Amino acid sequence: MTKEKFRAWAIDTKSEEGHKFIGRYWWGNPIPEHMEGCQVALFKFKRLAERELPHIRQTFEKAQVVRVEIEVTEMT
């Protein structure tokens, strides 16, 4: 088993209902090429996540871009 960590940017809804992070399907299908993968929409660059904030804030007013660390475990 190989473990690797990397950092990316995500959008936290900050919703009172506890929705937490915006998912990769927020933008529909197909998944946009700037997505890094997994269930949470991850962005390689902060500016890409910030570009999406105005649209997301129409639904989640308190949404914020946050730095996240992802641990990937490669199963071999």
Residue with tokens 């995500």: 10
Range of the structural domain that residue 52 is part of: 2-74
How many domains is the chain partitioned into structurally? 1
CA separation (Å) from 56 to 64, 66, 69? 9, 14, 22
The answer to whether the Cα torsion of 12, 44, 33, 75 is positive or negative is negative
Q: What is the pLDDT of residue 67?
A: 97
DSSP string, 36-51: --SSB--BSSHHHHHH
Binning pLDDT at 50, 70 and 90, where does residue 33 land? low
- Strand ranges in the chain using DSSP code E only, listed in sequence order: 2-12, 64-74
Percent of the chain clearing pLDDT 90 (strictly above): 51
Angle ∠(35,29,8) on CA atoms, nearest 5: 15
Q: Which pLDDT tens digit goes with each residue over 21-31?
A: 988 777 766 66
